């Protein structure tokens, strides 16, 4: 169950990606848009850094409070950085991990 902070933002939204053809992309679990232009976007998500490349890329929806971004245009590539974000480990995970 997601908890909301005092500003109504989700603590740990689930990262999701949904594409319609190569023309529209809905992304959930976005923490921050790091860069954006008509050739693509780089976003920090709950599952790591996500890069979208293409042409004529536009942001249709940007709801950082809810962690949702909608992109449109020609999407040519979608990839994640090699590093995954650090997950909080339990006491026993730290002890035996």
pLDDT in the model for residue 65: 86
**Dist. CA 43–CA 51, nearest whole Å:** 6
Residue 87 belongs to a domain: no
Taking only the tens place, the pLDDT of each residue in 35-86 is 999 999 999 999 999 999 999 999 999 997 899 999 999 999 999 997 655 5
Domains identified in the chain, total number: 1
pLDDT in the model for residue 88: 57
Residue 91 belongs to a domain: no
Q: What is the DSSP string of 20-56?
A: ETTTEEEEESEEEEEEEETTEEEEEETTEEEEEEEEE
User: Which CATH number do you get for residue 22?
Assistant: 2.60.40.2000
Residue 1 belongs to a domain: no
- Going from the C-alpha of 56 to that of each of 10, 19, 44, 97, the distances in angstroms are 30, 16, 21, 46
Q: Which residue has the tokens 């950085």?
A: 81
pTM over 0.85, yes/no:
no
Residue 64 belongs to a domain: yes
- More reliable by pLDDT, 30 or 7: 30
- More reliable by pLDDT, 86 or 29: 29
Structural domain of 23: 16-81
What is the DSSP code (8-state) at residue 14?
Answer: P
């Amino acid at each position: 169950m997601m908890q909301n902070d005092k500003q109504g933002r989700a603590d740990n939204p689930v990262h999701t990606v949904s594409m319609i053809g190569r023309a529209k992309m809905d992304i959930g679990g976005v923490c921050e848009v790091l860069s954006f232009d008509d050739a693509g976007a780089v976003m920090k998500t709950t599952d790591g850094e996500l890069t979208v490349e293409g042409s004529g890329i536009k942001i249709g929806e940007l709801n950082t409070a809810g962690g949702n971004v909608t992109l449109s245009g020609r999407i040519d590539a979608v990839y994640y950085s090699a590093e995954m974000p650090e997950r909080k480990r339990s006491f026993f995970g730290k002890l035996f991990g």
